[in-house]
Amino acid sequence: MGKTENVQMLGITVKKDEDFSEWYNQVVQKAQLADYGPVKGFMVIRPHGYALWEAIQNYFNKVMDKHKVSNAYFPLLIPESFFRKEAEHAQGFEPELAWIEKSKGEESKDEERVAIRPTSETIMYDSYAKWIRSWRDLPLRINQWCNVLRWEVKQTKLFLRTREFLWQEGHCVYATKEECDKEVRLFLDAYKKMVEELLAIPVIAGKKTDSEKFAGALYTTTIEALMPDGKSLQMGTSHNLGQGFAKSFGLKFLDEESKEQLPWQSSWGFSTRLIGSIVMVHGDDKGVVLPPRIAKQKAVIVPILFDNAKEKVLKKCSEVEKTLSSINAFVDDRENYSPGWKYSDAELKGIPLRLEIGPKDLEKKHVVVVRRDNGKKEFVKEKDIKKRVGEILEEMHSDMFNKAKKFMDANIVEAKNWSEFEKGIKSKKMVSVHFCGDASCEEEIKSETTATSRCIPFDQKKSEGKCVKCEKPSKEKVLFAKSY
């Protein structure tokens, strides 16, 4: 059957380097990762997209288990008074809160106004204040996987900017600042490792400037990735909250000398926007390219059927499927679809490997293995399949990571003065530059270039210089870029 029309319908109609934004929207929807919901700003995460989130959850649950973080669940609705308790925090989230109508009659008239959580610091710490009594209860490390809601008015972008999204938020309490500092970095480093090892995306870890830190935090650390359009994407943050929330919510503990002390707190989170970053960094004109380690089904087996050897070919496909069960290989045995149509479908969805098996391959006792990222074909002897496919997947992971790393490295430039800075931002680079750290200076830079500070990278040589904007002395360089 001629299925050319379908291939066209399935395919992406714009090129990644011609209209990046439209390309992204098409890929996300046509590859069935996500759809727009019926309410403005909301998304439906479809099974193919949700499986990526589950892979991330499985990976990170193991990391948290190792570091003695327990999962829990706190209420969706937060009382108005809680937002008032920590002034900076309240101010940061107020404009984006969705409040619940009081329409329940008598019952709710006595009840306080409540909003859907934009993040859970306040409601979690209200409980923490009840649970923590002595130094024996510390450190307390709790995480929750949940939905949060921020009533953004900017244009929706699936996975990247939606009013509701899924995330994890870890919230820890420590006896000392030192412990808190140490673990703020511990979880940021765990994020970096996960993003690089599972998503094959290189990131830069650093500290946020005061203007960009979390509302209510002492300081914020972040991992930032560079997208192909030159914009930086914040992939995860880890905050030292200091003792401000503890004061506001009444957290205290008796130390070993039975003296009352204020504890230190941290919080850290990443969200479903990670899925968007996978699409943007690795995708191509044919669709998604899934990094092999995160793909649940790592290989599709496509039978090339001719009447004379139909059964034999299908039997072999089924054998190979079993051989590769640990990577969830599956046979695409849908009838009435041509092999070409199946190739396109698997490419659109980003399945890492395609195995082709036809009558000639049976004769030669090999299978054809095609990599999604670079289209490279390899004939693999039947007896070597399991071993070789495992190797190819790992090679693919490294190649994808290295390609993205090369792109990132090539697109971070140093600026010595304002004109170099402006030129860098205009030409879609991340620009590393001396900067004083002042909020007013940062605001000026933003209004002139639309770029914001992304982070003060941890990994930089000591250097003295002058702020690119105000020329006050600066002791470290800051990365600026446009951002999502």
Q: Which stretch binds a copy of itself (CB under 8 A): 140-148, 192-200, 240-248, 446-454?
A: 140-148
Residue number, 79 or 359, with CB nearest to a copy of itself: 79
CB of 302 to a copy of itself, least distance (A): 17
116 is a contact residue toward a copy of itself (CB under 8 A): yes
Q: Confirm or reject binding of residue 76 to a copy of itself (CB under 8 A).
A: yes
Figure out which of the listed residues 18, 38, 257, 259 binds a copy of itself, where binding follows CB under 8 A: 38
CA-to-CA distance for 174 and 253, rounded, in angstroms?
Answer: 10
70 binds a copy of itself (CB under 8 A): yes
- Residue closer to a copy of itself by CB (options 151, 407) is 151
Do 300 and 330 touch, CB atoms closer than 8 A? yes
What spatial distance separates the first Cα and last Cα of the chain, rounded to whole Å?
44
Within 166-185, the residues that bind a copy of itself by CB under 8 A are: 166
**Residue 453 CB, nearest approach to a copy of itself (Å):** 28
- Kindly provide the b/e burial profile for residues 446-471, where b requires at least 16 CB atoms within 10 angstroms of the residue's own CB: eeebebbbbbbbeeeeeeeeebbbee
| 153 makes contact with a copy of itself (CB under 8 A) | yes
Count of positions on this chain that bind a copy of itself (CB under 8 A): 53
CA of 467: how far to CAs of 46, 213, 464, 473, in Å?
A: 46, 20, 10, 6
Closest separation in Å from C-beta 142 to a copy of itself: 6
User: Does 472 engage in binding with a copy of itself (CB under 8 A)?
Assistant: no
Within residues 118-137, the interface with a copy of itself by CB under 8 A covers 123, 126-127, 130, 136
**Taking CB under 8 A as the rule, does residue 73 contact a copy of itself?**
yes
Select from 78-86, 379-387, 412-420, 435-443 the region that touches a copy of itself (CB under 8 A): 78-86
Q: Is 240 within 8 Å of 264 (Cβ atoms)?
A: yes
Q: Which of 103, 258, 308, 447 binds a copy of itself (CB under 8 A)?
A: 103
| Per CB under 8 A, 11 contacts a copy of itself | no
Query: Which one of residues 17, 19, 88, 112 is an interface residue with a copy of itself (CB under 8 A)?
Result: 112
- Contact status: 100 vs a copy of itself (CB under 8 A): yes
By CB under 8 A, is residue 51 in contact with a copy of itself? Answer: yes
Stretch that binds a copy of itself, among 75-83, 230-238, 405-413, 467-475 (CB under 8 A): 75-83
Amino acid at site 143: N
- Burial of 199 by CB count in 10 Å (0-12 exposed, 13-18 middle, 19+ buried)? buried
190 contact partners, CB below 8 Å, separation of at least 6: 60, 63, 67
Nearer to a copy of itself, 295 or 370 (CB): 295
Residue 250 interacts with a copy of itself (CB under 8 A)? no
Smallest distance from the beta carbon of 161 to a copy of itself, in angstroms?
A: 14
Alpha-carbon gap, residue 264 to 130, rounded angstroms: 16
User: Which listed residue (22, 35, 196, 229) binds a copy of itself by CB under 8 A?
Assistant: 35
Query: Which run of H or of E encompasses 178?
Result: helix 177-198
Among residues 79, 250, 359, 457, the one that binds a copy of itself under rule CB under 8 A: 79
d(CA 113, CA 77): 10
Closer residue to a copy of itself (CB): 70 or 326: 70
**Count of all residues that appear for the chain in the document:** 484
Kindly tell me which of 70 and 374 has the beta carbon lying closer to a copy of itself: 70
- Give the nearer residue to a copy of itself in terms of CB position, either 328 or 440: 328
Q: Which amino acid is at 470?
A: C
Residue 50 binding a copy of itself, by CB under 8 A:
yes
Dihedral sign from CA coordinates of 112, 113, 117, 121: negative
Q: Which of 484, 479, 481, 433 is nearest to 457 (CA)?
A: 479
Tell me: does residue 107 bind a copy of itself (CB under 8 A). yes
| HEC sequence for 205-270 | EEECCHHHCCCCCCEEEEEEEECCCCCEEEEEEEEEEECHHHHHHCCCEECCCCCEECCEEEEEEE
Encoded tokens for 415: 């600026």
Interface with a copy of itself (CB under 8 A), residue from 66, 334, 461, 462 = 334
- Whole-angstrom distance, CA of residue 145 vs CA of residue 169: 7
E-only strand ranges, 278-426: 299-303, 330-331, 353-357, 366-371, 377-381, 412-414
Give the residues lining the site for a copy of itself (CB under 8 A): 35, 37-40, 42-47, 49-51, 53-54, 70-79, 82, 98-101, 103-104, 107-108, 111-112, 114, 116, 123, 126-127, 130, 136, 142, 146-147, 149, 151, 153, 164, 166, 334
